[in-house]
Amino acid sequence: MTYVRPLDEILRDTEKNAIVDALKYTKGNKSEAAKLLKMSRSNFYEKLQKYNLNNDMNF
């Protein structure tokens, strides 16, 4: 039988990957990454905290 991941887990991983991709694309520019994702900067920073992406990425 095939395992199906819960939807909330899939959405969480998708959101995190989108944020990481945007940060890579903008070479770590958080303001530009937030704009690219059409998110407010405050919401973007909340997501960075949520996914523990604050300072552990190299661009």
Q: For 18-55, what is each residue's pLDDT tens digit?
A: 999 999 999 999 999 999 999 999 999 999 999 999 87
Considering only residues 36 and 2, tell me which one the structure prediction assigns the higher pLDDT. Answer: 36
Spell out the domains of the chain, with CATH numbers in brackets: 7-50 (1.10.10)
Considering only residues 2 and 12, tell me which one the structure prediction assigns the higher pLDDT. Answer: 12
Write the CB contacts of 36 (distance below 8 Å, at least 6 apart in sequence).
Answer: 22, 25, 26
**DSSP classification of residue 28:** T
